[in-house]
A and B are shown apart, each in its own frame.
Chain A
């Protein structure tokens, strides 16, 4: 580990103070719940677009994507490319304007209007569990990184980041989150770009980099051949520069999972149904701004794998002996960045971390306040009281995140895998109810509720049956023949949910037309909610 210089600390301190100052300044302008949760519906497209990208690319992704690229190659970039861009474009022109016009604050709120309160509550519970767990995962990711570079204890690092993010998120709500995210997006891309450029220069240029990857792949093939004495197995080693990998490749990213699981299900579910993402566009100052934000975000997304995944490939060449992929980025920074610039990257890392944590804090707080407190406890709550509740809930979530990150420290599984598995449990079923709710007027509330619950249970069952102690005890083979089959969970859970919704809807009484007017594409929107 290299020691940070005074200049490094100055850069980090300047970034942290700037972010805090901006967040607190925005917080001083917040007067009502609508200001806090939807930024008073005054956000411009350029800020939302950058915030979307910053939220999606957290510290988890910088460490996890770099690590996955080191271990499995460029195929992990699919998560940012085909796993984002087409869904964002379709969302921009079809779904986001629809949600914006409907005037809802949360996606579960739309579910109650379209279906019933049971569907709303079930979805809200899933989102809260996911967001709460994700907060802990993100804090732990920071701890791993800071432990290597700042020389601070893991505990101290968790407390510090939770304190910083908590202060400005509690104070400024969505507006603070979006505007600080914007700055964080610039710093994050700049910092990662720095690692990329220095890494390629260190390897002697782009041609030398490509040659080094090929050489390293050859070395790995020979290793497999020596260890296994199986030429067939060595031949199955996937290329580190391929985006499309065979269905039977030994990787978590076979094309079947990427196309059917990620591109068709997880990605649209994320960009259309994730509260932390959609909430920004609900706060847009106009319908055009809501659309433009997604298109701007899609353009930026083209750049992200270049600055996040490619450094993982550089680490693959420079440190092929690494067994823990999560150490790829930290090793690169230790070896590549000179004194002075390390501070800039660490600021970028903190930016990535904070931009995701603040978003999930704000959205989780929005769900608790609107979908539980206001819905079940005080339906007549004033806008001012919602502001107080929102801030209190955000504070409690910060405390929870700290506790959960300490719990996670005892786990050894890759950070990225945990994150993806959590999402895969309910993203498929959530997408099934969202899609049928928006596109099919015949879908009923009972069908949506049963389809969602059974779909979630089904994906958890698949996950459980694929755990070695379980299938060994039951005397079975594993259900999936690839490691980390989280993409497949979402496919099957979606198929089960979707099928059930269709079948049960056809067997139950249709929802009254007047109830679902303006909530389904084929039925004209109600003018009073526009």
Chain B
């Protein structure tokens, strides 16, 4: 057994007992955090100059992509 084995076994002993519902919460929490971050981005970072249409705001499409992910990781 090398020191690497001991470190590995120690970490393994820490993560194996974590229930899967907690892990799911971690996955969803990460996606939700990115979702909120996108919502809070300044408008000038997400739209081209002289924007005339709502669909030119990238924030909407980024949020849609993340919302689909949140639904997927909630179900599967």
Closest to A245 in B: B20
A85 part of interface (Cβ distance < 8 Å):
yes
Contact A93 B45 (CB under 8 A): yes
Contact A302 B23 (CB under 8 A): no
Min CB–CB distance B69 → chain A (angstroms): 5
Label chain B's interface by main secondary structure: helix
In angstroms, Cα B58 to Cα A90, docked, is 12
In angstroms, Cα B49 to Cα A86, docked, is 25
Which B residues touch A256, using CB under 8 A?
A: 15
Closest to B73 in A: A243
Closest to A298 in B: B65
Contact B62 A89 (CB under 8 A): yes
Residue A247 contacts which of B1, B15, B58 (CB distance < 8 angstroms)? B15
Closest to A258 in B: B27
A383 part of interface (Cβ distance < 8 Å):
no
Residue B64 contacts which of A88, A244, A299, A301 (CB distance < 8 angstroms)? A299
Task: For chain B, residues 1 to 47, give those with C-beta under 8 angstroms from any C-beta of chain A.
Answer: 1-2, 4-5, 8, 12, 15-16, 18, 20, 23-24, 26-27, 30-31, 34, 37-38, 41, 45-47
Min CB–CB distance A91 → chain B (angstroms): 11
Residue from B23, B38, B64 with most neighbouring chain A CB atoms (10 Å): B23
In angstroms, Cα B27 to Cα A479, docked, is 26
Contact A86 B15 (CB under 8 A): no
Residue B27 contacts which of A74, A244, A247, A302 (CB distance < 8 angstroms)? A244
Contact A263 B61 (CB under 8 A): no
A296 part of interface (Cβ distance < 8 Å):
yes
Which A residues touch B23, using CB under 8 A?
A: 244, 255, 259
Task: For chain A, residues 281 to 330, give those with C-beta under 8 angstroms from any C-beta of chain B.
Answer: 286, 288, 291-292, 295-296, 298-299, 301-302
Contact A244 B20 (CB under 8 A): yes
Task: For chain A, residues 229 to 279, give those with C-beta under 8 angstroms from any C-beta of chain B.
Answer: 241-244, 246-248, 255-256, 259, 263
Min CB–CB distance B24 → chain A (angstroms): 6
Which B residues touch A481, using CB under 8 A?
A: 12
Residues of A at under 8 Å CB distance from B? Answer: 74, 81-82, 85-86, 88-90, 92-93, 241-244, 246-248, 255-256, 259, 263, 286, 288, 291-292, 295-296, 298-299, 301-302, 462, 465, 476-477, 479-481
A243-B27, A295-B61 given. 12 additional CB < 8 A pairs? A85-B65, A86-B31, A89-B62, A243-B72, A243-B76, A255-B23, A259-B26, A286-B48, A299-B65, A465-B4, A479-B5, A479-B8
Listed A/B pairs (18) with beta-carbon separation below 8 Å: A81-B73, A86-B31, A86-B66, A89-B66, A90-B34, A93-B41, A93-B58, A244-B27, A244-B76, A247-B15, A259-B23, A259-B27, A291-B58, A299-B65, A302-B68, A302-B72, A462-B4, A476-B1
Query: What are the 8 tightest A-B residue pairs by CB atom distance, in nearest-first order?
Result: A288-B48, A298-B65, A243-B76, A302-B68, A247-B15, A299-B65, A86-B34, A255-B23
